[in-house]
Amino acid sequence: MSLSFAERAGVHSAERRAACERVRGQIASGAIERVRLSWCDVHGTMRSKTLMPAAALKALNAGLGMVSTLMLKDSSDRTAFKVFEPGTGTTPSGFGYANNVVLLPDPASFQMLPWSSGTGWLRCETFFADGQPIAFDTRRVLQQALARLAQLSPQGLSLTCGLEVEFHIYRIDPAAADPQLDPAAAAWPGPAPTPALRLVHPGYRLLSEQWGDLAEAPLRIVQETAQALGLPLTSLEIELGPSQVEAVFEATDALTAADQMALFRNATTQALRRAGYHATFMCRPPFPNIMSSGWHLHQSLVRLGDGGNAFMRDAPAEGCGPLDARRELSDIGSHYLAGLLAHARGMSVFCTPTTNGYGRFQPNALAPQSAVWGRDNRGAMLRVIGGPGDPATRIENRIGEPAANPYLYMAAQIHAGLDGITRQLQPPPATDAPYASSADERLPTSLGEALQALRDDGALVAGFGADFVDYLSQIKRLEVDRQAQAQDAQEWQAREYFGRI
């Protein structure tokens, strides 16, 4: 008897077999009319194929073919490598001629989509046709980083993350023509839906209950969708900018948190669109007087042996002053903090991966401008929260934008923090003036500068692997080049990001 693809790939454990049986039982109930097999690309965008129930059942073990160029797309959906020109030396091995790779569903991820009646959903990972895992799959990139972390000490460590995500919601005016859906305006990429949009609240009244009530209808959709998917949403808040809101989630292990972020963005945009709203996770929407959106990543290390917070210390270190990191953080937490600072410039491309996001790094804007840390300081890139005896002691990294691929964002934290731990780096004193830092501490001001900073960062290149850094750099470099060639940079960003992220 021949082996199934899942068996040849070496992933068909007893646990997976049991999960497959549960999915078969749910599909056999007759309530499921179709199943989306979904995969997160390098940009954090969910791609999917929709299968009928019988085909979905077959794909659980046999997998499903997907054109390999989906793993080679830039942000405009153009293929970033010359797959039909052998011998150029640029196309990664295994991706020539737009061949097939295999999507293999994770049966444990099965969900019913609350906004699409009768539709099931499965998260997939990618493999080559011979069953070998594809290293460029960003979920696998995070898994490999977590494996490094688990081997750090005899007890092992893991990363816990809490998500704090800002984004914008606009109402689609039913009386206005939507250029996105006008066949005469179709382009690559197409126009943004800006003429057809209205605000859901006027902004500039942070946490206003009045504006919250005004925006209750779309926020209720966000809430009900997240809760129906089992996402640990704790709050929905009115942010400062017009039509800007924030969603906050309970902390969980990093891989689960990344899965939740990818699913939340995907679900929110689709559920709101069906109800007549446009949600965007673009950092700076193409309107005057907007506020930039950030994705603040709360993080701590957890000991695998006893589940304790490895950042927490019982009392301040002996002899440390009020600006010393060891006053709040354990020694390992201080080293991790120093690693994040040392590699802040190199990690920027993973945390802020669009040309649009670098406009957020402005002084006095509740966004970072320099690689500095502070005690409960929202102007600093790294905000240390908690202290001795507090089991919730953590570091908040404020460098991210909501469009970031969550797997790469979190993997970057691990590789940077690990370097700080292994080299026992010590952070500088905490800052009380986060916008008065020296020029050599400044974060990149453009995606191109961030890409060069990554290539110059030996520890991050080693952590992610030179092949992955080359792969990502080729894809993102085309994004930089196309904006540089655009006659209207704002219109380019609107088409590239606003209608698509």
What's the pLDDT tens digit per position in 73-121? 999 999 999 999 876 567 899 999 999 999 999 999 999 999 999 999 9
Average pLDDT score over residue span 291-312: 97
Checking if the pLDDT of 439 tops 80, the result is: no
Residue 407 near residue 361 (C-beta atoms within 8 A):
no
Domain that holds residue 34: 20-134
Asked if 391 contacts 378 with a C-beta cutoff of 8 angstroms, the reply is no
Considering the domain architecture, whether residues 402 and 319 belong to the same structural domain is answered as: yes
The Cα diameter of the chain in Å comes to 71
Spatial distance between the Cα atoms of 66 and 96, rounded to a whole number of angstroms: 14
Q: What is the pTM of this model?
A: 0.97
Is residue 111 domain-shared with residue 243, that is, in the same domain?
no
Does 130 share its domain with 193? Answer: no
Closest listed residue to residue 267, CA positions, set 234, 212, 217, 230: 230
Band the pLDDT of 2: cuts 50, 70, 90. confident
Q: Which helix (H) or strand (E) holds 245?
A: strand 244-249
Instruction: Quote the pLDDT of residue 155.
Output: 80
Count the neighbouring beta carbons within 10 Å of the beta carbon of residue 287: 16
Expressed in percent and rounded to 5, the helix, strand and coil fractions of the chain are 40, 20, 40
* Cα dihedral across residues 460, 466, 469, 474: positive or negative: positive
Q: What is the mean pLDDT of the chain?
A: 96
User: Within a domain: residue 1?
Assistant: no
Whether residues 38 and 164 share a domain: the answer is no
Tell me whether residue 298 is in a domain: yes
- The answer to the question of residue 397 being in a domain is yes
Say yes or no to pLDDT of 468 above 80.
yes
Residue 4 lies in a domain: no
Residue 6 lies in a domain: no
Q: How many domains does the chain have?
A: 2
Which of 17-21, 192-196, 214-218, 269-273 is predicted least confidently?
Answer: 192-196
Instruction: Give the confidence band of 304 by pLDDT, cuts at 50, 70, 90.
Output: very high
Q: Answer with the one of 72, 104, 134 that is the final residue of a domain.
A: 134
Cα distance between residue 421 and residue 4, in whole Å: 42
258 & 206 share domain = yes
What lies within 8 Å, CB to CB, of 40 at 6+ separation is 46, 47, 123, 138, 139, 262, 405, 407
Round to whole Å and give the CA distance between 331 and 237. 35
Looking at the fold, whether 152 and 42 belong to one and the same domain comes out as no
Query: Does one domain contain both 83 and 216?
Result: no
pLDDT at 87: 65
Q: What is the CATH number of the domain that holds 68?
A: 3.10.20.70
Mean pLDDT of 33-39: 98
pLDDT of residue 366: 85
Asked whether residue 277 carries a pLDDT value surpassing 90, the answer given is yes
Each residue's pLDDT tens digit, 309-356:
999 999 999 989 999 999 999 999 999 999 999 999 999 999 999 999
Q: Which of 134, 156, 183 is the last residue of a domain?
A: 134
Whether the Cβ atoms of residue 330 and residue 421 lie closer than 8 Å to each other: no
Q: How many secondary structure helices (H) and strands (E) does the chain include? A: 14, 16
pLDDT value of position 30:
87
Helix (H) or strand (E) holding 351, with range, is helix 344-351
Is there a single domain that holds both residue 82 and residue 47?
Answer: yes
Return the sign of the alpha-carbon dihedral for residues 386, 387, 393, 399.
positive
Q: Same domain for 124 and 149?
A: no
Residue 380, domain CATH: 3.30.590.10
With contact defined as beta carbons under 8 Å apart, do 195 and 273 qualify? no
Q: Which of 371, 366, 360 is nearest to 402 (CA)?
A: 360
User: First and final CA of the chain: distance in angstroms?
Assistant: 45
Q: Identify whether 322 is part of a domain.
A: yes
**Whether 255 contacts 138, CB under 8 Å:** no
One domain for residues 240 and 388 = yes
